[in-house]
A and B are shown apart, each in its own frame.
Chain A
Amino acid sequence: MATSTTAPAGSGTPEKSAARRKTDVSGLFEKWALVGALVVLVAVCMATIPQFRTASLFTTMLNAQSLVLLLALTATVVLRMGDFDLSISQTMVASAAVIGQLTTNGTSPAVAIPLALALGACVGLVNALLVVRIGVDSFVATLGSYTALAGLSYLITDSRIVAGASDGFINFSRSQIAGIPLITWYAWILVIVLWYVYQRTPLGRYSLFIGGNRNAATLAGIPVNRIRTGAYVVSGLLAAFLGVCFFGYFGAVDPSAGGQYMLQPFAAAFLGSTAITVGRFNAWGTIAALYLLTVGITALQILGAETWVTNLFYGLALMLSVAAAKIAGRRRAGGAK
């Protein structure tokens, strides 16, 4: 009566494991579809468009998209927790504005940079206060801080473009190692750091747990609110660091620049979540997604398309791939609705 001694009631019936093998194959396809598309696209472009056979085009592409890539990676930090931080692009511009305004007026970068980073941390804390403490919807709260920071950038720069970055700043972003500018290297390093944290550490799994079911995370003893607050602060700090890169990259700050960096990073991050570790925001997926978009857009521009093609391409690619991932996911779930 007490304990049964029958064989363990295994859930691994033969039918089930066969089904799993099948999903493994389609899972593999899903995982690598985006990367495959990138490889095919590059191959086709190289075969049909002469410019694609020059190394300089590739460096230009890498260079031009590094800021968006850095922002997209930054966006995943908070996205993984099931929240948004829309303010990153504007934090970047505001931080660049602080640095530009101060250093062009003679303040030492050793003062200006920590100040900019402090601004980023403050933005993160305010976002966290609103979202984590008070419970405001993250989309709304960070849309608010985005807008406020846009105003602040104009205030700091007196609504003018601040030019005249010192060589130090320019070199910080544009010096080359192995023919590749530093700013691209920063993005690649960030990919590896985030990959490690997301994929290999408890923190990376906690973030998914929190994004998946906050209540469950609390019950499992995860310090949910501390981790969410930390994510906003890291997001703000990274964005402020990007301000330094931004100032060096352009050699100037245009206070109106935030808008054009607002949505592309999110498009890349969402697109990236349909690859590599499917269904989760991840670093490798994001970089693959961004390069796919870049190559596509560059090819179209070489073929004579105008600048509007960028947004059109981003939007369509996002809609298509997210829809495809959804359909594949539904098929994978099989009988269950």
Chain B
Amino acid sequence: MSTATRLPVEQAGPAPALKVRSLRKTYGGAVALEHLDLTVRVGEVHALLGQNGCGKSTLVKSLTGVIGPDSGTVEVYDRQVHLPVEAAHEHGIAVIHQDIGLVDEMTVLENLGANARYGTRLLLPVNTRRERRIYTELMDRVGFHFDLDAKVSTLSPSERALVAVVRAMRLMPDDAAGQLFILDEPTAALPKPEADRLLTLMRTVADLGSAVIFISHRLAEVMEVCDRATVMRAGRDVLETRIEDTDRAEIVAAMLGRRMDEFYPDPPNVTPGEVRVAVDALTGPVVRDATFHVAAGEVVGFTGLAGMGQEELANLLGGATETVSGTVLVDGADLTGATPSRIIDAGMVLVPGNRLRDGIWVAGSAEENITLPVVPQLRKRGSVSNSLIRAKAEELMAGVGVHPHDPERPLGGFSGGNQQKIVFGKWMQLDPQVLLLDEPTQGVDPGAAKDLLGRAMDAASSGSAVLVFSGEHEMLAAICHRVLVLHEGRIVAELSGADLTEESLLAASELDHAAVTASATEGAA
């Protein structure tokens, strides 16, 4: 619990890779970091944990010089770093920021080199062939390949996350020790197998004599890969511990300041009603021949490896991409190839996964964002009423627990998890009959995730059909009645009942038939 008791041990060992003392950062009047101490040792993967908005990304941005802290000290490998940090990479700091930082209209290759000055000087020519070779090798190491000439706008959220990973790896030479590598929720948009590959990579880097700071809300992977953890609450460090000495319950209690026994809500215990969504042979970008039914009161998951079609299926159903063939019926109404506005009118709502592209208007205020779908209803005598908007926004923000409760703040001023809550609240207010959730808990802390999912479960028990598209197997196994697994755009397995476990989902995603044969043959509803 206390850092003090550990200090002597620390001093006996080698110099820490990072030593942060009394770091403080305020935005206007609001305190984001109050008094933060953090020590990261050489050779360890150090988890930085805490609720949404507790200041994790603020710390990262302070270390990489994106923002300047108000006071405090930072030492990297025993060298005092002048604040605000300039040229972080010269201190051996490499980072994947939470917002990933890619430019849609540029190619993957052009995005990749941006943090490494394309391997050259500002006004010297870029050696494109060498750039290609470097990134092809790095992609081999992560085991994932994308077209280097594709525009980033064509990539799915998980592919974008992988681009960011590959980009940061360039700054992390695997032979060199003495680096500090910071990953701010790199796995939030990654399905389990890809996330695992990244975790192994982090482990390797740490073992070679660097240090890794790993931020994640997925405690399972934290327990699996990290050596130590620092838990933050409201801008302070409240717990520093070795992972072996703790468990998830203790960590969550430290994060939230209260104990939480179950991490996920249970699926509603209702007998499925009439069929709400009937999809037949649906084909579109990536998706091939998808056929399934979802009944009222059912919670159905869709998963697969990155790029296997689950994200695309969500977009297709929500009207974000064009249907090639097949039919979609919602409550008997034909919505095949309908526009998003018709789909929404029919009661089917998509909470998109690519928050920064499809979900929010970063410069707009929280209230403008959250009331967007209902603005036409918030009128007094014909014109839009600010007071009605304010009232509605406050009600919605309180409903999903947005922190801070500040309707006027631009969305960009909220932490990642709170942005996700606003997106969620924006769509839940429509009381959708069919709820399409694409990575609904992406970047949301365990406490808030339980709340958000609880709300979706409530919708299901009152008769909505809930479709969850996600790579988080643990969550799917906990909240779904059944889960359909996609591979190369086709539905290849369906798991339910006792066969529906985190392990069986992973096995089915990887087409490991031996492990799933027992359960892979059930028919659709």
Binding site for B on A (CB under 8 A): 1-4, 6, 8-13, 16, 20, 196-197, 200-203, 205-206, 208-209, 212-213, 215-222, 279, 333-337
Contact = CB atoms under 8 A, between A and B. Distances in A.
30 contacts: A1-B196, A2-B196, A2-B224, A3-B200, A8-B145, A9-B144, A9-B193, A9-B308, A11-B146, A11-B159, A12-B147, A20-B147, A202-B122, A202-B123, A203-B122, A205-B106, A205-B126, A208-B105, A208-B106, A215-B101, A215-B362, A215-B412, A218-B101, A220-B114, A221-B114, A333-B154, A334-B322, A335-B321, A336-B154, A337-B321
Interface of B: 64-66, 88-89, 97, 99-106, 110-111, 113-115, 117-118, 120-126, 143-147, 150, 153-154, 159, 167, 193-194, 196-197, 199-200, 224, 284-286, 305-308, 320-322, 324, 362, 412, 488, 503, 506, 510-511
A209 B104 CA distance: 9
Nearest to B101: A219
Contacts of B506: 1
A221 B124 CA distance: 19
A201 B126 contact: yes
B123 A9 contact: no
A202 B118 contact: yes
B488 A13 contact: yes
B122 A9 contact: no
Given A219-B66, A219-B97, A6 B511 contact: yes
Given A4-B193, A11-B307, A221 B99 contact: no
A6 B304 CA distance: 13
B306 A216 contact: no
Contacts of A215: 99, 101, 362, 412
B145 A205 contact: no
Given A201-B125, A221-B64, A208 B110 contact: yes
Contacts of B143: 8
Contacts of A217: 101, 103, 114
A335 B374 CA distance: 28
A8 B144 contact: yes
Contacts of A12: 145, 147
Contacts of A334: 285, 322
B321 A336 contact: yes
B126 A200 contact: yes
Contact of A221 (B115, B412, B503): B115
A337 B307 contact: no
B200 A206 contact: no
A9 B192 CA distance: 13
Nearest to A222: B114
A293 to B, nearest CB: 26
B36 to A, nearest CB: 21
Given A9-B305, A13-B488, A202-B122, A212 B103 contact: yes
Contacts of B117: 202
B196 A11 contact: no
A209 B111 CA distance: 8
Given A9-B306, A201-B125, A219 B145 contact: no
A11 B105 contact: no
Contacts of A208: 103, 105-106, 110
Contacts of A203: 122-123
A205 to B, nearest CB: 6
B106 A209 contact: yes
Contacts of B197: 3-4
B125 A213 contact: no
B106 A4 contact: no
A209 B488 contact: no
A215 B150 CA distance: 21
B115 A220 contact: yes
Contacts of B154: 333, 336
Contacts of B200: 2-3
Contacts of B64: 221
A11 B145 contact: yes
Nearest to A332: B151
Nearest to A227: B122
B355 to A, nearest CB: 14
Given A202-B118, A209-B114, 11 more contacts: A8-B143, A9-B308, A16-B147, A20-B150, A200-B125, A200-B126, A202-B122, A202-B126, A216-B102, A217-B114, A333-B153
Nearest to B511: A6
A217 B199 CA distance: 26
Contact of A335 (B66, B88, B285): B285
Contacts of A219: 66, 97, 99-101
A6 B147 contact: no
A208 B65 CA distance: 22
A12 to B, nearest CB: 6
A220 B121 CA distance: 16
A335 B145 contact: no
A203 B224 CA distance: 42
A204 to B, nearest CB: 8
B144 A279 contact: no
Contacts of B199: 2
B97 A212 contact: no
B123 A197 contact: yes
A163 B159 CA distance: 63
A6 B153 CA distance: 27
A335 B284 contact: yes
* B101, B121, B147, B306 pick with most chain A CB within 10 angstroms: B101
A216 B284 contact: no
Nearest to A16: B147
A201 B124 contact: yes
A201 B362 CA distance: 31
Contacts of B111: 209
B196 A9 contact: no
Nearest to B308: A9
- Which of B88, B99, B167: most chain A CB closer than 10 A? B99
Given A9-B307, A9-B308, A13-B488, A4 B144 contact: no
A209 B105 CA distance: 9
Contacts of A335: 284-285, 321-322, 324
Contacts of A205: 106, 110, 113-114, 118, 126
Nearest to A15: B286
A209 B123 contact: no
A104 to B, nearest CB: 38
Contacts of B89: 221
B320 A337 contact: yes
A323 B324 CA distance: 27
